[in-house]
Every structure is written in C-alpha cells, then in structure tokens.
Amino acid sequence: MKELDQQRVEIFLDKWQGSSGNEIANKDSFCLDLCTALGVAPPPPQGRVTGDPYCLEKNVKMPQSTGNIKQGRIDFYKQGHFILEAKQGSIKSGNSTPKRGTRAYDQYMQKAFIQATAYAPHLPVKPPFLLTCDIGDHFELWMGFSGDYGGYGARQIIKLNDLLKPDIFDLFVDIFTQPQKRNPEKIRAKVTRDVAGDLAQLAYWLEKQQHHPQEVANFLMRCIFTMFAEDVQLLKRGVFTQALTQRWLCQPSSFKPEIETLWRTMDEGGTFGFDSILRFNGSLFTNATAFDLPKSQLEVLLQAAKRDWSQVEPAIFGTLLERALDTKERSKLGAHYTPRSYVERLVRPVVIEPLRQDWLETEIVVDQLLKVPGDLEPTATQKKKAVELIREFLQKLRTIKILDPACGSGNFLYVTLDLLKTLEAEVIRRIADITGQYQSSVLDQVNVSQFLGIEVNPRAASIAELVIWIGYLQWYFKQFGNTSPPEPVLQKFNNIEYRDAVLGWDSKKPAIDPTTHQTRTRWGGCTMKHPVTGEDVPDPQDQIPIYSYTNPRMAIWPEADYIVSNPPFIGNARMRELLGDGYTETLRQVYQDVPDTVDFVMYWWHKAADLVRRGQVKRFGLITTNTISQVRLRSVIEYHLKQKHPIKLIFAIPDHPWTDDGAAVRIAMTAAELEGSPVSQVVQLGEVILKGEGETPEDTADLIDIAWQNVGVIFSNLRSGANLTNIQPLKANDQLSSRGMMLFGSGFIIEKVDFTKIESEILFTYTNGRDILQRSRHVKIIDFFGLSVTEAEKLYPQAYQWVLEKVKPERDANRDQNLRKNWWVFGRPRPELRLALQDIQRYIVTVETAKHRVFIFLAQGVIPDNKLIAIALDDAYFLGVLSSKIHVTWALAAGGTLGMGGVYVKTKCFDPFPFPEPTPEQKQKIRDLGEKLDAHRKQVQSQHPDVTITGMYNLLAKLRAGEPFTDADRQYNDQALVSILKSIHDQLDAAVFAAYGWSPNISDEQILTQLVALNAERAGEERNNLIRWLRPEYQAPHEVNTQVALAGITTIPETTVTPTQQQPFPKKSKEQLAAIRDLLRTHGGDWTLEQVIKQFKLTPGQKQVIGYHLESLEWFNILVSSYDHGVTRWRYVETDSAT
C-alpha cells in the first residue's frame, strides 16, 4: 500500500465513516468514492457499454415459472467480479433505518444478503464475490468461486477503517481488478504442484538406490507431515528446517539417526533438543525409519521444506503424491489431475445441499424464535431456545458419517470434510451473532473419525489417511489459532480400511482343474516370435494361475449416512485381464442381481443403491464412465428404479470431463436417494458446455459451464422428458439389423501387398468404422464360413496355412473352448445377418460409436466389422429416413454415449424406431434424396480421396452452428462441397417431417415425445396382429401385408399434479416449513393461503401458523408472493442449486 493509496483512503474515511442517513440518497456517491479511494476506474454511465457489465443500478431480469419477468436492481455490479448491495444504519433509534447493534439492524443487513443471493443466479455468470455494506460503518464479504456463497453466517466483516490495512486494501483492489488472483483453489493448486515436483525428485533418487517402494512411500509421507506440522506450528521454532540448514546439510550422516529420533519423539511425545514435542501417535510415526541421504538430496528436501505447506490443497495433493511415488505415473505429475471443483460438483448435491437445506430451515425457525416488534431486543429465554435449536443441528453435523468405498488418495473425503467444516464454522458464527460470544470446543467438532474409506491399494490408503488429517488440521488452526490440538494429535480412528470394497472372502488359493487335477492357468499376455512367420504370437509358457475364493460374499461396508465415490474404471471386456479370471467369475457369481455384461464400477453402484433402498444410507453419488447411459450398464439403474422401495435419481450429469490415471476421460455423475424421501432439492439434470482448454486443470475448469435443467424425473438413460427406457421393440423392424463380424484373430485380415498370396475366391472386402469415417485401408479378409477345417485345407491351402500360422496360436491361448475348437472361422460369423443380406445388392451400415451419426450403403459382398451396425435394407427411402434429423435425434437419445461419441445400439436405436407411413409421393421424394445423399458423398470421396466422412460432417456442424470458416475450412469445403451436403440434408429433413405429418419447427424433446407415443401405438397395433413390415418379402413371406393410414399424433400436454388427499401436518416448526416448501416446489403454480391450508390436516390453531410460515419462507427468498384483487398468492422460487 503506497502513501498515495493511504491518502485517498483517509479522504474517503473522513467523508463516510460514522455517517448515517438514507441509503438511496448516499449509495451511488459512496460507491464512486470507494472506487476513487481504491484507485480503480469508476463505472461508465449506464447504457454506455452494451449489457452494462460494470455499473451502478444494474437491472436484473428474473424469469418466473409463470412466464412473467420480475425486475431487480443491483446497487453496484461488475461482471465476473462482484455484486454489492448497500444499506445504511442509524446511530440512534427512531430513524427510518434501524439502529446499529439491534436485532432489527441485524435483520436489515441479513435481508441485503438474501437480496444479493437472489440476483446472482440471473446474471451471465455468478460473480466470485458478494458484498453488502452499511454505508459509514462496515462491509460484509462472501467469497463464492465455486458458485456457493454459503449462508449469512459465512460472512467476513470488514470495518470501514480496515481499508487502511494493506492486506484489506489489496483485497478490495483485487476484487475490482483481478478477482481470480484470490481464488483459493488456484493458489493452493500452484503450491501443491510445486511441492509434488520436489517430492518426485527425491522419490526418483530413492528408487535408484533399490529401496522398497512402500518404504519410500512411508519415508516421504513422514517427511511431508513433518514439514506440514512445522508450517502450522505443531512443531515450534522451525525445528525441521533449522536442523536441515544447521546440522544435516553440514553433516549428512547425522540425518538418518536424528530424523528417526525426531519421529520417535513425535510418536511418543517428549523433547527434541531444546524443543518440546507434542505426542502425535497414530500409525504414521510408529517404528519410523529413515534413509541416509547425500547432501544433494537433503538440498531437495530443504527446497520442499521452504514451501508453504499450510497452503497445500489436499484435494489434489493425494493424487500428485501417489504419482510422485509411482515410476510409471511420475511423467504425468503436472499434466492431468482432477481439479477440486469437479469433485465438489458431486459432493455438494449428495452431501452438502441436503445439510444446507436443513440448516436453512433451522435458520428460519431461529428467526421466528427471535422475532420482536420494533427496536426491542429478544429476551434471554428467546435467545436460549434459538441457541439450543442451532446446537441441535450442530450436533447432527458432528455425528454424520461419510463413506467413500473406493477412496483412492482421499480427495472426495477431504473435499467433503472441508465443506462440512465450512458449514460448521458458519453455524458457530450464527451462535456468536445471538450470544455475542464465539464459542467452539477443541474436543467437540466435525472431525476425522466421520470420514470413512475403503481402498485396496495400501499406499493409496495411507495417503488418504494423511490427506484427511492434513485437511482437518488446516481447519483446526484456522479456527483455534495457535492453540495446540488435544494429544495424541493423530488419533487411531482406523477410518480408512485397506481391503476389497465389493468382494469378501476367507482365503484364496490356486484353482484346481477337476479333470487334470492341475492348477488352472491362463495366458499372461506375453508374446513370442512365431518360428515360421516371425510375428508376435502368444507365448504358451507364459501362464498365470487362476484363483479360487473360499466363502466368497458381498463385502460389507461400514455404516454411513452418505456415500460419495469414484470407483475404478475397468470395462467389462478387461475385467478378466486386470482382475483375474477367478476374481471376475467369483464376483459375478456372488452378485446374482448384476448382469455379467456390466463394467466393474456398476458393482459399486448396485451396492450403494441397495443400501439406500434398505434405508441404511440416505443418499449416494458416484462417478462412472459416461457409458452408464448405454443399455448394458443402465440395466443396473433400471433394476433399482423398479424394485419395491425403489430409488430415484435426483442429480445427473451424463457427460463430464474427468481425469483417470493422468488421462483425460469422459464420465457421468449420478446421485440417488430413496423414492418418497423428504424432498430436499429439485431434481436436476446438467449438460456440460466446454468453452476451451486452460493452462492448468483449474483454468480448464473455469471454462466449463453447466446448463442446469430442473426436471420431474431422471430416467435410467440419464435423460428427462420423453421416457425412452420403456420403448418396445417392433416386429416390423425384426431380423434386419445386426452387428458385423467379430473375428477373434487379426490374422484373418490381409493387406493389399499380400492379396496374391491367397486364393482370390476366399478373399472378401472388409470394412470397419475407420475405413468408413476416415481413410479406407483397402484390406480384404479370409472367410471360411460354411467350410469344415478339412474342406478349408483342401480347397484353399494357401489361405488355410495363413490362418493356421497367424490365427490358431492366438485362438489356442483363448479361454473360450468354442473359439479354440473352431479356430479357422470368425469368432462370431453372424449367420442370421448373412441370410438377411443374401438376396439384396446393397445394405445400410452405421458406425457403432461415432461423433456424427452417418448412414451409408455398402455393396452386398463387403464384410462388415463387429463395430458396424448392418441394416439389411437396400431401399434408399430407408437410408433417407435413418439419415434424417428425426432418427438421428432418436438414436442419440436412445443409444447413450462413449467418450465424445454417440453409440448406436440396435436394440434401442433401430428395433423400436417407428418409421413413418408416407404417401407414395412422399416416399419417392425421400428415396430420391437418400440416393442423392449417398451418391454425393461417394462422388466427393472418389474425386478427392483425402476428404473423409468425419471431415465433411465436422465442417457441416460448423456451418450449421454459424461459426466462421478458416482459410483451411474454405479450402476443404471447395473439395468436400459441404454446402451441397447441407442442402441435401435440409431437404431430407423437411421431407421426413412431412412424412410423419409433424411441423419441422418442433423441438428435439417434442420429436422424442412423439416418437415414444408412436412406438407405443405401433406396439399396440402389433399386439392386434397389424405389423407394418419394412421388408415383408424377407421378414414375413407367407403373411398378407395389411396397412392402415397413420393416425395423427398429438402431444398430450402435461398437467400440474395436485395432492388428492390431505397430508398430516408435522408438529415441529422445521418440519412444518419443509412440508410447505415441498408442497409448493413439487406441485408448482400459485397458491393462496386457503389453498395451502386445505392440503394439510390442521388443528384450529395451526391455520395461523401456515400464514406465518409462508411469510418466513418468502423473507428468506424461498417463496415469492404476488398481490392481485385483494388476494396474496405464493410461488416457489426456481433456482439452480447445483454448482
């Protein structure tokens, strides 16, 4: 703070400090003077800049669910920086504004905060800072980089003359000019990355000395905690750094014995040199051993010790530490990790929001208990009752249990701890507001014992325990300053269990084959050079044992109130490879209700859902891969949605960026509770809008927006609106679609250079997804379908020898007996598909997983790969309908996603799809356009082989989005003729909409709703034996094909559901408030007092309470009222609560 800064602030204080009067008259002048005092630019006149991103009297439009717009006005606003709401108290009673220090004044200031939080969701972005001020007295400040400002008790009070303090002055300047400089997540992430880099250097050196990895991990974790303890003053006078600089660097041989002595003293308590050491205990310092380090490595340790360990971010520290200790992962140290904000995005709706809702209800009752007329103060009795109610909530907060049954290095548990401690501090502050005294016990608080974990990796389990303790102690010193915590500092809660989280057993041993009495084995993955071909083939000597498990059972999880977790991402196809045959088989046998086709993560989902349904857990939230919306995985969700005592999904983001083992992946977030649970939040569905990539994970997280949608229900496919999970397969589409050939042996594929080595009669063109979407490989394939091994050898000896040498060794190592036995033919030769294709000259294919859903014709003799969906239709009319917006919209919604692409699942995308019933003229128009579409793309590619289908449709997407073309885009368009492609698709869409009889302007959701209705109608027809065969001569050659005109499809409008019978009215005020809130939230619309009263069974005295509660809910901005023709009506305020 410079001298000139101080002079400006003093001028500001001379004018405003201690003033009182009318806020409306003073606030604009006060805000402009504040800008001058801070030396920042004042806002321009309103209207000068479009949208007024920096202005006084900012207009805010707040849409209501009625369709009306409520106008608001922010006193002082800067987009992406702050909201400021100004009030002005009085220095004596009887004025137009309340006297400072009174109960009325406290409510006056609290209302300013509530008003500001009501504006924030309706701004382009929620600003990171929210301020209220009493002009002439003080500011109240909230920080909300995560989108959550907390409650009124989370405020920081800054007196006006505190602006003379350099740190406060700099804070306000940053709020006006560079708010992200104050983002604690980014500040702490930078410190943590630096610390992890230091540790990686030391870990690398220790590994080179051949030390055991677990011993290295334990040594580094002790060093880490010692440095942290020093920086938070658990170890006084910098004992560790001092010893490094004054003794160990000068005499490296003294390091090992002396650090072991320090750690032994930390374990037991006592003295080290002239310093008294607290007793830390726990398991970290038990039998602690160290390594001899040379001076060069002690210098690395000193460099780490000089970092500010009090600012380490535990949410990412555990991940980075684990990588620093892992040789394979060390190269990824700074590249990718999951930023804290992503973790919060799941933790908040699962754990924090229901607790905050409970706290808000508590605050409303407290407000009612303290209510007094005028400038009177609440009585001692009123205050006592209010404090008792708050302490009741506080006790609940301090007894809940959080479980992460795949806790890894503890980031989910730490983030939950940090958010609970934040809420606890806010609640404690509320007691201080009432009593005038800040009271908190070092013994009675949210603590480490409430956070439970299960982890199968012993090193990760140890790191998780360390991470939680560091996070807890950071909070301890934030609350209690230099007061030492109770001893032992690290208590043995045994809250992190080192074991398997889904499968329990008494013992495991190698499985014995009952026929040979030998140990069962499988190929371990190593290869050898084939003696004839010289190519890599499975090494028959590389065998690993298959284990059997004694008394296998579902693992038991510790009792908890909430579950949050990020279980391992292991796909179904890799479970045997990564977990072992014995484990995989045993797991599938134990979990009878879980299909064998699901990924590993779904066993956690099943178990968590089961605990919720049994009433043992209130709510759970899990990270899974985004494939959870696919048919084979979502069957687990459907199971729990349809059982007796079902769950309901209350929150979902179907596709979200994430980091797994240092790699960028796509995941889904889901949260659920028991159906019928007390409503504690709106059901929300989120869609990620990614605006770009940042330099750090935290910067990238800033570039993500979530478009939230409040919905009535989330289905098992993680969608709302039209319910595609109950669509029925149609007989009309039966026998026509199939996946292509599944080889189980790449040796069947023949490159162009080898065509002449194989008999041409047995070679066929082979096409996979890359051939279609990118550039074709122009390969062929040996297809012995229909031939015995003897016939294959006799008729085509060259092809036979090729397969014998290149396919059989791989098949011999396969555990599937049929694949070993029938080694010369494809593993899945698809005889049904071959039959469907034999009488047509071409057929339609689409790539199973693709960014763009494209359908093309292939010639009849081309063999499709397993990753292609083949549709045995040769009429271009069907290609046209499938290529239309209507079918593509359906396919994206019905099929699910994998990574960044949509998945075309034939059983959900094709089999239930109701084709239109067009007139002959409409059908011919679609047919012509379908031919034109297929011919256009093929002609472009024949003339310009470098143009790909993906390239065409990437540019088409850009053209449709109205994005400007680059020079490279324009050059590509000159060859790809994408404008013509767009024109054909536009004409095709219009023609298909006309065939259905629908307006081309209906939304995607209306398309889906009408297709679901049409599917139900067609399924009903088929139950009455009216089947609209797509290819009757093949599907039903002996049946008469009868058709009826397509009835017009109408959309049934949704109606508001109202209770059909009166509900019991709770006895306690908190539960009464919740019941009224949930009534208006669940059923929507405007409600009069009499209408609300009629919904409950009330005693005569309780009718007055309803009105009282409605007014309280309105005061806290949970309800909004309107007054018309002498009647007051209340409506629930729709907000986006998820962050």
- CB neighbour list of residue 644: distance below 8 Å, 6 or more residues apart: none
Q: Which two tokens stand for residue 19?
A: 């003033």
DSSP secondary structure of 36-92: HHHT-PPPPPTTSSTT-SEEEEEEEEEE-TTS-EEEEEEEEEETTTEEEEEE--BSS
Give the mean pLDDT of 117-128. Answer: 92
Q: How far is CA 97 from the centre of its chain?
A: 46
CB 1132 within 8 A of CB 1080: yes
Of 783, 743, 740, 779, nearest to 761 by C-alpha is 783
Unique residue bearing structure tokens 């007390």: 678
Helices (H) and strands (E) in the chain, counts: 37, 41
- Residue 328's pLDDT band, with cuts at 50, 70 and 90, is low
Give the mean pLDDT of 1013-1037. Answer: 92
Position 910 scores a pLDDT of 97
Position 814 scores a pLDDT of 86
Position 192 scores a pLDDT of 81
- Residue 619's pLDDT band, with cuts at 50, 70 and 90, is very high
For residue range 493-513, what is the model confidence (pLDDT) as tens digits?
A: 999 999 999 999 999 888 888
Position 330 scores a pLDDT of 45
| Domains of the chain, residue spans | 3-182, 185-332, 340-498, 503-511+546-720, 721-740+830-1054, 743-829, 1063-1132
Position 303 scores a pLDDT of 93
Position 214 scores a pLDDT of 82
Question: How is the beta sheet containing 562-565 ordered, strand by strand?
Answer: 496-498, 451-455, 402-404, 562-565, 619-625, 663-674, 647-660, 684-690, 704-710
Alpha helices in 398-488 (DSSP H): 411-435, 458-480
Q: From CA 1036, how far away is CA 890, in angstroms rounded? A: 27
Residue type, 623: I
% of residues, the chain, pLDDT over 90: 63
Q: From CA 215, how far away is CA 219, in angstroms rounded? A: 6
> What's the sign of the alpha-carbon dihedral 1030, 1036, 1042, 1044?
negative
- Residue 66's pLDDT band, with cuts at 50, 70 and 90, is low
Please say if the pLDDT value at position 1032 is more than 50. yes
Tallying the residues shown for the chain, one arrives at 1139
Q: What count of other Cβ atoms lies within 10 Å of the Cβ of residue 47?
A: 8
Q: From CA 1043, how far away is CA 1062, in angstroms rounded? A: 50
Position 661 scores a pLDDT of 62
Residue-averaged pLDDT of the chain:
89
Position 338 scores a pLDDT of 78
- Residue 23's pLDDT band, with cuts at 50, 70 and 90, is confident
Question: Which of 249-258, 435-444, 852-861, 1026-1035 has the lowest average pLDDT?
Answer: 435-444
Q: Which of 395-404, 663-672, 1099-1108 has the highest mean pLDDT?
A: 395-404
Position 680 scores a pLDDT of 58
Question: How is the beta sheet containing 842-847 ordered, strand by strand?
Answer: 737-739, 868-871, 842-847, 856-859
- CB neighbour list of residue 334: distance below 8 Å, 6 or more residues apart: 193, 196, 197
Position 1054 scores a pLDDT of 34
Q: What count of other Cβ atoms lies within 10 Å of the Cβ of residue 274?
A: 7
Between residues 898 and 265, which one has the greater pLDDT? 265
**Which CATH number applies to 1063-1132: 1.10.357.10, 1.10.10.10, 3.40.710.10, 3.40.50.300?**
1.10.10.10
Between residues 452 and 677, which one has the greater pLDDT? 452
Q: From CA 1042, how far away is CA 1029, in angstroms rounded? A: 9
Position 1138 scores a pLDDT of 47
User: Looking at domain 503-511+546-720, does it have CATH number 1.10.10?
Assistant: no
Please say if the pLDDT value at position 101 is more than 70. yes
Q: Which of 316-330, 690-704, 1032-1046 has the highest mean pLDDT?
A: 690-704
For residue range 194-205, what is the model confidence (pLDDT) as tens digits?
A: 888 888 888 889
For residue range 713-750, what is the model confidence (pLDDT) as tens digits?
A: 999 999 888 888 889 999 999 999 999 999 999 999 99
- CB neighbour list of residue 88: distance below 8 Å, 6 or more residues apart: 19, 20, 21, 22, 23, 26, 27, 97, 134, 135, 136
Q: From CA 173, how far away is CA 189, in angstroms rounded? A: 23
- Residue 333's pLDDT band, with cuts at 50, 70 and 90, is very low
Using CA atoms, how far residue 963 sits from 596, 826, 954, 957, in Å, is 45, 46, 12, 9
For residue range 1095-1133, what is the model confidence (pLDDT) as tens digits?
A: 999 887 788 899 999 999 999 889 988 888 888 989 888
Give the mean pLDDT of 1071-1081. Answer: 89
% of residues, the chain, pLDDT over 70: 94
- Residue 1050's pLDDT band, with cuts at 50, 70 and 90, is very low
Position 337 scores a pLDDT of 65
Please say if the pLDDT value at position 1084 is more than 90. no
Please say if the pLDDT value at position 334 is more than 50. no
- CB neighbour list of residue 189: distance below 8 Å, 6 or more residues apart: 313, 316, 339, 340, 696, 697, 698
Give the mean pLDDT of 639-651. Answer: 94
Please say if the pLDDT value at position 1052 is more than 70. no
- Residue 544's pLDDT band, with cuts at 50, 70 and 90, is confident
CB 741 within 8 A of CB 863: yes
Unique residue bearing structure tokens 């109240």: 140
Using CA atoms, how far residue 987 sits from 933, 941, 982, 994, in Å, is 10, 22, 9, 11
For residue range 811-831, what is the model confidence (pLDDT) as tens digits?
A: 998 888 899 999 999 999 999
Question: Which of 138-147, 249-258, 888-897 has the lowest average pLDDT?
Answer: 888-897
Beta bridge partners of 708: 686
